[in-house]
Amino acid sequence: MRENGEKLVPASLIPEKILARPEYFLQGLAHSLPECLVREGVLKRLIKAANLLPKGFKLVLLDTYRPVELQKLLFDKYLEEIRQKRPGAGHEELMKLTQRFVALPRSDKGSPSPHLTGGAVDLTICDDQGMVLEMGAGFDETTFRSFTRYLEEKLENKDPLSPDQETALKNRRLLYHVMTAAGFTNLPNEWWHFNYGNQPWACRVSAKGFAPAVYGPARPDFRWA
């Protein structure tokens, strides 16, 4: 990893292109922030992605930079949820199942949690009427329906799609294509999660000969914090 030193910046200052709706703050979770912070390079690429959307459509950020304390809270909550559903499961199995949707809370430079780097974004799209597009699974839904290619695979298997699923398929494709065209990579288990500059991003693009990760653990540049 070669940290490039980019600052965390607010992503809410260009509402004509990008809306910020920090879900965990709205839900009142401890350690959450009332702003969506991203690295400078991530913001530039989000603007590029927003410019590729149909006229009047906007990106809606749901979560971006995430303190490690919040990462631990989310991990522990989901771990307990899995434990309740699988009372006979051992620790190793529980940890594996939990990490299907929530990353381990890590702050070390070698392998930080993706959201701690400021290079991970959770987002969706809203239309020119301010309505969030149908995506076939809600944000943070922990089922196979959240897998990015869930609807693609149903189509490939010739399984019938409902009208809502057909709409969601088109909307997922739209989000995926504008984000990847802007330089992001997608987390396959979550249609809403995209990376740039961090280790998951580097792992996905390394086969193409791109540079290693440039974002390690980040920290907001607050005067009094």
Question: Annotated catalytic, 190?
Answer: yes
Q: According to the model, what pLDDT value does residue 173 have?
A: 99
Number of H helices, E strands in the chain: 7, 7
- 209 band by pLDDT with thresholds 50, 70 and 90: low
Separation of alpha carbons 18 and 189, rounded Å:
24
User: Binding residue per annotation — 140?
Assistant: no
- H, E, C per residue of 177-201: HHHHHCCCEECCCCCCEEECCCHHH
State the residue for tokens 């500059």. Answer: 197
Calculate the alpha carbon distances from 174 to 44, 63, 113 in Å. 19, 19, 27
User: How do residues 8-42 score in pLDDT, each as one tens digit?
Assistant: 999 999 999 999 999 999 999 999 999 999 999 99
Q: Please give the mean pLDDT across all residues of the chain.
A: 95
Q: Is residue 177 over pLDDT 80?
A: yes
User: Binding residue per annotation — 63?
Assistant: no
Q: According to the model, what pLDDT value does residue 1 have?
A: 85
User: Binding residue per annotation — 177?
Assistant: no
Q: Is residue 141 over pLDDT 70?
A: yes
- 225 band by pLDDT with thresholds 50, 70 and 90: low
Could you tell me which residue, 224 or 213, shows the higher pLDDT? 213
The two tokens of residue 199 are 């280790």
Range 123-148 average pLDDT: 97
The two tokens of residue 65 are 């930079």
**Active-site annotation holder among 6, 141, 156, 190:** 190
* One-letter amino acid for residue 181 of the chain: A
Sign of the alpha-carbon dihedral angle for 18, 180, 111, 29: positive
Do 32 and 25 meet the contact criterion of CB atoms below 8 Å apart? yes
Considering the domain 8-133+181-208 in this protein, what is its CATH number? 3.30.1380
